[in-house]
Amino acid sequence: MTPLRTLDQSSKLKDVLYEIRGQALVEADRLEAAGHNILKLNTGNPATFGFEAPFQIVRDMIEAVPSAHGYSDSRGILSARRAVMYRYEQDASFPPFGPDDVYLGNGVSELITMVMQALLDEGDEVLIPAPDYPLWTAMTSLGGGTPVHYLCDEEDGWQPDLEDIRAKVTPRTKAIVIINPNNPTGAVYTREILEGIAQIARENSLLVLADEIYDRILFDDAVHIPMASIAPDLLCLTFNGLSKTYRVAGYRSGWLVVTGPKGHAAGFLEGITLLASTRLCPNVPAQHAVQAALSGVQSIDALIAPSGRLHEQRDAAWEALEQIPGVSCVKPQGALYAFPRLDPNVHEIHDDAKFVYDLLVAEHVLLVQGSGFNWPTPDHLRIVTLPETRVLTDAVERMGNFLSSYRQ
Ligand code: PLP
């Protein structure tokens, strides 16, 4: 018999990293299988922390299932795309767009992948924040492009550093990604910063990719300003979906909205339409959840109000982190995470992935290391603030105790 040929993964995956579900999760699953109770604070998945799907969304989807067994239009069903239009029409500053400017996807994740595949050629550069939601970096690499990370400034509440962005633009830069509100830092960008980014994009003819999946998860006085409304004169792709605001991440339902001038980008947009066709269509029952979600009661508002669960948990996590010697944390203004700093003069950590692994084995708490978000130094961790306050403060205290005697 012919010997079986070794199958390795494709070299295209060389730089594709996704540490949120990396080696530490493999170990967490092994510990769980061995009977341990593991607190997994690695993914922003509301359902696993007792958040229920809003009833009207579940009901509409169930009602749609008997007639949702066929493929749909590749961009998505019209009623859902119109619901997305209606959502943005409520904001007078958001540039107008039509139903053909909306693409539905199996989560924002699929749309990010499609856009990067449609956009990039070998050597094209994409400006991506550091820290970032790592799918942006991974899909830039998979698409054959080169991720170039611009710094967000922790001392400035994690706002993007405009000087650093400017310094990193080259003739090969094709696009700039902004994640606002930000995962992992919880920063919500100021108008001034957004205008600064728009100006750089304008001067260098950059495509703007705005990941705004947390735009309705805001705390205190934070106000989210859509990037598209700051730069109506630029081609801007805005990404959003149901996973976070509506707590139905498992439905895999997201959208992409194209605004601004399109004439110069006809080829690229045709590329997106082509890729949307090749995946046939997004999951149809979940598309029926879009209209129900966007037109019904916005139950997220009660969760982020000062007495709401998400607000209280954000406060509790932040306060508990600030109590730990040698740990500081910019208070998150949005999203579902905290991104504390471990002072390198106090905590000797050279390998943050090893720290996460050791913490998991010792304390049965799973976090994600800052380097998993393309943060350049081993001095940050990301904590998901979705568990109930008691569980969250207990996890942070366990992390603090473990840190106090930890050396590498
Ligand atoms: N973008 C950001 C910033 C995220 O944090 C996430 C998920 O955590 C996604 C995109 C992916 O979302 P979806 O569930 O819609 O694929």
By C-alpha distance, which of 208, 197, 151 is closest to 174? 208
Q: Residues lining ligand 1, judged by CB closer than 6 Å? A: 44, 107-109, 133, 179, 183, 211, 213, 241, 243, 249, 254
Phi, psi for residue 36 in degrees, rounded to 5: -85, 150
- In ligand 1, the atom with minimum distance to the C-alpha of 44 is 8
Helices (H), 90-190: 107-119, 135-142, 162-168
**Percent residues over pLDDT 70 in the chain:** 100
Of 213, 237, 239, the residue with max ligand 1 atoms within 8 A of its CB, to mutate for a pocket test, comes to 213
pLDDT at position 222: 98
The two three-digit tokens of residue 192, written as one number: 């001034």
pLDDT at position 36: 94
Task: Give me the residue label for tokens 């998505």.
Answer: 76
Of 135, 239, 242, the residue with max ligand 1 atoms within 8 A of its CB, to mutate for a pocket test, comes to 135
Q: What is the mean pLDDT of residues 76-97?
A: 97
Indicate the helix (H) or strand (E) that contains 174. strand 173-179
List, for residues 143-161, the tens digit of each pLDDT value.
999 999 999 999 999 999 9
For residue 4, how far is its CA from the centre of ligand 1 (angstroms)? 39
If you write DSSP's letter for every residue of 5-20 in order, what string do you get?
PP-PPPGGGTT---GG
If you write DSSP's letter for every residue of 29-49 in order, what string do you get?
HHHHHTT---EE-SS--GGGG
User: What does the buried/exposed string (b/e) look like for 302-314 if buried means 16 or more CB atoms within 10 Å of the residue's CB?
Assistant: ebbeeebbbbbbb
Q: Is the dihedral of CA 342, 346, 350, 355 positive or negative?
A: negative
For residue 212, how far is its CA from the centre of ligand 1 (angstroms)? 9
Quick check: 22 pLDDT over 90? no
Phi, psi for residue 195 in degrees, rounded to 5: -65, -40
For residue 136, how far is its CA from the centre of ligand 1 (angstroms)? 10
pLDDT at position 408: 86
Coil, helix or strand for 341? strand
For residue 325, how far is its CA from the centre of ligand 1 (angstroms)? 32
Domains and CATH numbers, the chain: 12-51+302-404 (3.90.1150.10), 55-295 (3.40.640.10)
Coil, helix or strand for 303? helix
The two three-digit tokens of residue 284, written as one number: 């149809």
Quick check: 1 pLDDT over 90? no
Mean pLDDT (the chain) is 96
23-33 helix and 352-363 helix, angle to the nearest 10 degrees: 10
- In ligand 1, the atom with minimum distance to the C-alpha of 133 is 3
pLDDT at position 335: 98
Q: What is the mean pLDDT of residues 358-377?
A: 96
Cα-based distances in Å from 67 to 60, 277, 290: 12, 21, 16
Beta strands in 200-275 (DSSP E): 207-211, 236-241, 254-259
Q: Are 138 and 213 in contact (CB under 8 A)?
A: no
For residue 141, how far is its CA from the centre of ligand 1 (angstroms)? 18
List, for residues 38-66, the tens digit of each pLDDT value.
999 999 999 999 999 999 999 999 999 99
- First-to-last alpha carbon distance for the chain, in angstroms, is 50
Full-model pTM:
0.97
By C-alpha distance, which of 106, 123, 122 is closest to 114? 106
Helices (H), 249-336: 266-278, 284-295, 300-304, 309-322
List, for residues 106-124, the tens digit of each pLDDT value.
999 999 999 999 999 999 9
List, for residues 329-358, the tens digit of each pLDDT value.
999 999 999 999 999 999 989 999 999 999
Q: Which residues pair with 125 in a beta bridge?
A: 146, 173
Quick check: 402 pLDDT over 90? yes
- In ligand 1, the atom with minimum distance to the C-alpha of 244 is 14
pLDDT at position 20: 86
Peptide bond into 3 cis (omega under 30): no
Coil, helix or strand for 383? strand
Q: How far apart are CA 318 and CA 328, in angstroms?
A: 9
Rounded to 5°, the CA angle 364-366-368 comes to 155
Q: How far apart are CA 260 and CA 342, in angstroms?
A: 42
List, for residues 182-222, the tens digit of each pLDDT value.
999 999 999 999 999 999 999 999 999 999 999 999 999 99
Q: Please, which residues have CB within 8 angstroms of residue 398's CB and are 6 or more apart in sequence? A: 363, 365
